[in-house]
Amino acid sequence: MTSLQYPPARELPGRLAQVHGRIAAACMQWGRAGDSVRLLAVSKTQPADAVRAAFGAGHRAFGENYVQEALDKIAALTDLRAQLEWHLIGPLQSNKTRAVAEAFDWVHSVDRLKIAQRLSQQRPPTLPPLQLCLQVNVSGEESKSGLAPADVPEVARAVAALPRLHLRGLMSIPAPAQGFEAQRAAHRALRELLEALNAQGLALDTLSMGMSDDLEAAIAEGSTIVRVGTAVFGARG
Ligand SMILES: *Cc1c(COP(=O)(O)O)cnc(C)c1O
DSSP per-residue letters across 201-222: T----EEE---TTTHHHHHHTT
Among 46, 227, 228, the mutation site with the greatest number of ligand 1 atoms within 8 A of its Cβ is 227
Mean pLDDT of 175-189: 95
From ligand 1's centre to the CA of 54, what distance in Å?
Answer: 17
Sequence spans of domains, the chain: 9-233
**CB neighbours (10 Å) of residue 63?**
24
Q: Please tell me what DSSP assigns to residue 20.
A: H
- The pLDDT, as a whole number, for residue 7 is 65
Among 42, 62, 133, 143, the mutation site with the greatest number of ligand 1 atoms within 8 A of its Cβ is 42
Q: Which residue's CA is the closest to the ligand 1 atom numbered 13?
A: 89
Q: Tell the burial category of 157 from Cβ atoms under 10 Å away from its Cβ (0-12, 13-18, 19+).
A: middle
Tell me which fold the domain 9-233 belongs to. Answer: TIM Barrel (3.20.20)
DSSP count for the chain of H helices, then E strands? 9, 8
- The pLDDT, as a whole number, for residue 141 is 78
Is the distance from the beta carbon of residue 211 to the nearest atom of ligand 1 less than 6 Å?
yes
Query: Quick one: which of 215, 221, 212, 209 has its CA closest to 108?
Result: 209
pLDDT per position as a tens digit, 62-115: 999 999 999 999 999 999 999 999 999 999 999 999 999 999 999 999 999 999
Q: What does pTM read for this prediction?
A: 0.96
pLDDT per position as a tens digit, 106-151: 999 999 999 999 999 999 999 999 999 999 999 887 777 899 999 9
Check: CB of residue 135 under 8 Å from CB of residue 227: no
- Ligand 1 atom nearest the C-alpha of 227 is 10
Is the distance from the beta carbon of residue 229 to the nearest atom of ligand 1 less than 6 Å?
yes
Is the distance from the beta carbon of residue 165 to the nearest atom of ligand 1 less than 6 Å?
no
∠ CA 209-151-95, nearest 5°, is 75
**CB neighbours (10 Å) of residue 35?**
9
Confidence of residue 1 (pLDDT cuts 50, 70, 90): very low
Is the distance from the beta carbon of residue 207 to the nearest atom of ligand 1 less than 6 Å?
no
Is the distance from the beta carbon of residue 145 to the nearest atom of ligand 1 less than 6 Å?
no
Amino acid letter for position 120: S
- The pLDDT, as a whole number, for residue 9 is 83
CB neighbour burial string for 78-95, b if at least 16 within 10 angstroms, e if fewer: eeeeeebebbbbbebeee
